Amino acid sequence: MKLIDLLGCIPFYETNDDIAHIEVSGIEMDSRKVESGNLFVCIKGFTVDGHDYVEQAVQNGASAVIVDQEVHSSVPIIKVANTSRALSMLGVKYYNNPTVKLPLIGITGTNGKTTVTYLLETIFNEYKKKTGVIGTIHMKIGNETYPVANTTPDALLLQKSFKKMLDQDVDQAIMEVSSHALVQGRVYGCDYDIAVFTNLSQDHLDYHKDIDDYLRAKSLLFAQLGNSYSGEDKYAVINEDDASSTLLKESTAQHVITYGIENSAQVMASNIKLGAAGTTFQLTTPVGELTIQSKLIGMFNVYNMLAASAAAIVSDIPIAHIKTALEKMEGVNGRFEPVNEGQSFAVIVDYAHTPDSLDNVLQTVKEFAENRVFVVVGCGGDRDRTKRPLMAEIALKYADHAIFTSDNPRTEDPQEILDDMTNGLHANEDYQVIVDRRLAIQYAVEHAKAGDVILIAGKGHETYQQIGNVKYDFDDREIARQAILAKE
Ligand SMILES: CC(=O)N[C@H]1[C@@H](OP(=O)(O)OP(=O)(O)OC[C@H]2O[C@@H](n3ccc(=O)[nH]c3=O)[C@H](O)[C@@H]2O)O[C@H](CO)[C@@H](O)[C@@H]1O[C@H](C)C(=O)N[C@@H](C)C(=O)N[C@H](CCC(=O)O)C(=O)O
Ligand SMILES: Nc1ncnc2c1ncn2[C@@H]1O[C@H](COP(=O)(O)OP(=O)(O)OP(=O)(O)O)[C@@H](O)[C@H]1O
Ligand SMILES: N[C@H](CCC[C@H](N)C(=O)O)C(=O)O
Ligand SMILES: [Mg+2]
């Protein structure tokens, strides 16, 4: 593509050279990955500034650079107001604006995004629609999976992935939209057809100034809905029982469809029967009413099913297919996942890593436990410190025995993270600190008796533990399995 044509998507830019002849073979934001003829976009990050890597990009063959600060270079320099924003626009243009053709659902909220994403995948697949999914666990096109570094990838990878989905005849794309992505503009230029809100509670206060700032970040998804003027109907799917619903409804000029249990909403669940092996409820929607018998456990999963059902209804999926899919769904990788080797006690691995999710999941465990509840939990390093004491308190509120351990310490001292968790606790409470996560899991398994439940929270599907900057192989499910086998 000619650079001059590509730059048509940026309203104002300055250049120091004649760029009419330049062909662009691709766009790159990482100097280490630049190939001959690439346009290098300099992004100021949290760790380093891409403007410092212009020379490396040029050595690797960059044909031009996009900057928002002064740099010196032997290739043409194009100066814009904001390179992050430019990167998204360039990605959209380079990959030919894929989301205008690709039906796209974006899911945001503190908890439940991944679960709702996979519920929607199951529903669309049941209706014989090919899906593309982007989220925490991986990117998935049809049955092929690809690893991802972020829940919501950077703008370039995102647009490239949408293009790939279109090339592979995907009918419906479904993605998680993190608050980081919204603030950083990773999703500028995505033409969402449906934006779903799950819930809002405390997380990421290392990144967002306060909870209002966090909510404002989430609201950007709803404000962006319909900005492409494609003329199609767009929908915001909102949890009416969440205190943030009013602001989010006011953030969009598009159609709103609500779901809920407590407050009156368009899609509702009633007559809910929560069980240890599944959940039954009456689903009431504007297009009909039916009974759902789901294998998913816990009230929070009723909300996830309502969110997915509402998004499926506005996508014109017949409710009979929604019912079949919800009832077929076995669960999501690493979410309330049992580890069963025929032992006399239950072991559940879950991804709860926020106060609210831990509260929800422990409440559910407590309700069905025949005997004592053990919880093995920690908090991630280089992340929101203020959630640490809250998570410890919640663990003690429900569990008969809490074992506090490391999650992904990253660059923090694991003991200091655990001190943050436990400093405010009373000494006589029944908890223990075992820094090594493997030993903590082993301890819980060794001490469990018939009818007890062990909840291992925080890492769910993760198959590594990050200590310092190194990711070591680590899978809670495997460690638990080995411990169970060693015991019996
Ligand atoms: C805080 C944050 O959002 N960080 C993201 C950010 O990293 P960064 O700002 O540190 O990037 P950087 O290393 O300073 O690099 C700046 C620029 O210089 C470039 N560079 C860098 C080095 C070099 O040699 N040459 C070069 O050109 C980089 O390619 C980049 O363009 O940009 C990177 C590239 O897009 C992201 O991968 C990275 O996510 C890191 C891995 C991360 O941990 N992010 C978390 C906080 C996050 O975003 N989480 C949410 C999910 C949260 C949730 O839902 O619970 C997510 O969407 O994943
Ligand atoms: N609707 C919900 N409300 C509260 N907690 C939930 C809800 N759904 C799931 N959870 C809890 O949160 C954990 C994470 O769920 P899930 O992975 O679906 O959320 P997520 O929003 O994708 O999280 P992340 O921000 O890490 O991507 C689950 O393991 C469960 O404990
Ligand atoms: N997307 C979340 C995942 C947290 C998972 C938990 N295991 C941790 O490492 O804190 C984050 O980056 O905050
Ligand atoms: Mg997720």
Q: DSSP of 121-160, one letter per residue?
A: HHHHHHTT--EEEESSS-EEETTEEE--SSSS--HHHHHH
Ligand 3 site, residue 353, Cβ cutoff 6 A: yes
Q: How far is the CA of 380 from the centre of ligand 3 (A)?
A: 6
Compute and round to an integer the Cα radius of gyration of the chain: 24
* Among the bound ligands, the one closest to the CA of 118: 2
Q: How far is the CA of 187 from the centre of ligand 1 (A)?
A: 14
pLDDT by residue, tens only, the chain of 488 residues: 999 999 999 989 999 989 999 999 999 999 999 999 999 999 999 999 999 999 999 999 999 999 999 999 999 999 999 999 999 999 999 999 999 999 999 999 999 999 999 999 999 999 999 999 999 999 999 999 999 999 999 999 999 999 999 999 999 999 999 999 999 999 999 999 999 999 998 888 888 989 999 999 999 999 999 877 667 899 999 999 999 999 999 999 999 999 999 999 999 999 999 999 999 999 999 999 999 999 999 999 999 999 999 999 999 999 999 999 999 999 999 999 999 999 999 999 999 999 999 999 999 999 999 999 999 999 999 999 999 999 999 999 999 999 999 999 999 999 999 999 999 998 778 899 999 999 999 999 999 999 999 999 999 999 999 999 999 999 999 999 999 999 97
Terminal alpha carbon distance of the chain: 64
Strands 131-134 and 139-141: antiparallel
How much is the pLDDT for 472? 98
According to DSSP, residue 350 is labeled: E
* Among the bound ligands, the one closest to the CA of 384: 3
Encoding tokens for residue 431? 């908890």
Residue 463 marked ligand-binding: no
Ligand 3 site, residue 151, Cβ cutoff 6 A: yes
How much is the pLDDT for 229? 65
Residue with tokens 């250049």: 15
In whole angstroms, what is the distance from residue 436 CA to residue 447 CA?
17
Q: How far is the CA of 368 from the centre of ligand 2 (A)?
A: 20
Ligand 3 site, residue 458, Cβ cutoff 6 A: yes
Edge-to-edge strands of the sheet including 64-67?
14-15, 77-79, 64-67, 38-41, 26-28
Q: How far is the CA of 29 from the centre of ligand 1 (A)?
A: 11
How much is the pLDDT for 11? 87
In whole angstroms, what is the distance from residue 387 CA to residue 353 CA?
9
In whole angstroms, what is the distance from residue 289 CA to residue 323 CA?
10
Closest ligand 3 atom to residue 460 Cα is 7
Closest ligand 1 atom to residue 353 Cα is 55
Contact by Cβ (8 Å): 23, 63: yes
In whole angstroms, what is the distance from residue 261 CA to residue 256 CA?
17
**Residue type present at position 306:** L
Encoding tokens for residue 88? 């998204």
DSSP string, 403-463: EE--S--BTS-HHHHHHHHHTTS-TTSSEEE-SSHHHHHHHHHHH--TT-EEEEES-TT--
Residue 31: which of 57, 5, 11, 10 has the closest Cα? 57
pTM, entire model: 0.97
Closest ligand 2 atom to residue 353 Cα is 13
How much is the pLDDT for 232? 83
Give the total residue count for the chain. Answer: 488
Residue 410 marked ligand-binding: yes
* Residues 6+ away with beta carbon under 8 Å from 353: 379, 380, 407, 457, 458, 459
Q: At what angle do helices 414-422 and 387-398 cross, to 10 degrees?
A: 60
* Among the bound ligands, the one closest to the CA of 459: 3
In whole angstroms, what is the distance from residue 441 CA to residue 477 CA?
10
Segment (H or E) for 487: helix 476-487
